[in-house]
Structure 1
Amino acid sequence: MNYLNNFVAYLKVERDLSIHTIAGYTTDMKKFFNFITTNVEEVTTSDVRTFIAHLSDQGLKRSSINRAVCSINAYYKYLIEVEKVMIKSPATEIKIGKREKSLPKALSESDVMKLLSTASLDSIKSRLYIELLYGLGGRVSEIASLRVEDIDFNENYVRLVGKGNKERHNPIHEGCIRLIEKYMTAYHIQSGYLFPHRFDKTRHITREAIFMKVKGLAVKANIDKSLVSPHVFRHSFATALLENGCDMAIVQEFLGHEDIATTKIYAHVTRGNKAKNFKNFHPLAQ
């Protein structure tokens, strides 16, 4: 028995992972099952290494191989903690070199304005999605799960609940607060989730629904939809703050990064702008 169906159900119900992440895990595990010649409970570290070598021989990128290792580890963690048919994962000691971090993409201010204008013509809810994604710098999961009770309408602050249920309170512009009030009136929302699920008001909207709406707005705004996603607004938020002189430690707090090293990747994005400003404005650069 390979427990794959149970594992997939666990990822959906207990872990609440996105359909894309679950699809990746499923694909990786099916490849693994087709490759191994023993029962899953009898797989050794050597078997996993041989599988990795097989993937490498097929020309898979390091990022894809890394994902496969993560999938196998997640699967065996499930067998250990939920099914209780294993004691140790055979992939625990497998380490693949870290892939280079690609620089985060950021939208230009003009593209954001285009999206805001397009969203306004679409619906008040669409406009609010963009306002919150770009104005708060939150993860899409944080925006999707916002509750009315998270919003301080007097002080213009929004409570965000991030990874590990860690809270932070980010300021939001006055115009967005007024937009939230108009939206709540239009959609008859008084409490609970700000964006309730269409068919079940006790749940919030899915991340995928916001993703699809944002992609659709990009098409309407004549912006390359491959450059636009809910997460790119988080990158754009951080880049805009740094380019305008905001302290990196403050940006770290806004984003909810535990380690400032994670925030420092944005320094590479803004470096070109800093060089341009230095050349234009510093006396010794003339």
Structure 2
Amino acid sequence: MTRIDDTFARLRAEGKKAFVAYVMAGDPDEATALEIIKGLPGAGVDIIEMGLPFTDPMADGPTIQLAGQRALDGGMTLEKTLATARAFRETDQTTPIVLMGYYNPIYSRGVDRFLEDAKAAGIDGLIVVDLPPEEDSELCIPAQAAGMNFIRLATPTTDDARLPKVLQNTSGFVYYVSITGITGAAEAQATDVAPEVARIKSATDLPVIVGFGIKTPEAAQSIAGVADGAVVGSAIVKLVEEGKPVPEILAYVASLADGAHRA
């Protein structure tokens, strides 16, 4: 049982849906990013997705691309990203952290070394969007053996023939991408999402969390209402880009979390 598994068990017992928040490590700077991340659990966040800055983020829209660029320009690295997780763990041993990013920095570090360091830093799961199931031996299976969840994305184009392969070695939860396209693009619609979530849940016992295109508490509530929870990323990162003070960012996050928890 990982922290992610424990969190979903607790939420089920409480009859609540999950709220997941994404922030980019090192954005707008290392210290401010850590302050935001440390404030997320108090704002009602059940699981933290921490972005690993990368130069070529092919699944991300302009908002998260720019966040990664700001972080890289400020000197953020994989090592400093793991240091952020370690600093968070000094005061919080229960909230799960999922590291979300791309394979290149992990490959460059070496998979065995990365997994050892990530586990020691308190990382609970990985979302690596450019490693398909055909490459599970690269990172997915070693990560699971190290006691970390490997979370896979399913999308509107994941048909019934492809879905079993996507689910094959997935653990923790399934991240359903509500739209075709990049992060921060079109708005998610519960009427479109509901049948897709039901289709995925008919093939797995894992929780299904929906992300991409959720920007308001009402949207978080409606999407969480047809799934096991909701993820918000770009709308939070946009406030960081705009230079909003940390308390204002966390207040917005709390409103989103309240929406998801009302579902």
Q: TM-score, normalised by structure 1?
A: 0.25
Q: Which structure has more strand as a fraction of its residues?
A: 2
Q: Which structure has more helix as a fraction of its residues?
A: 1
Q: Which has the higher contact order (CA 8 A, sep 6+)?
A: 2
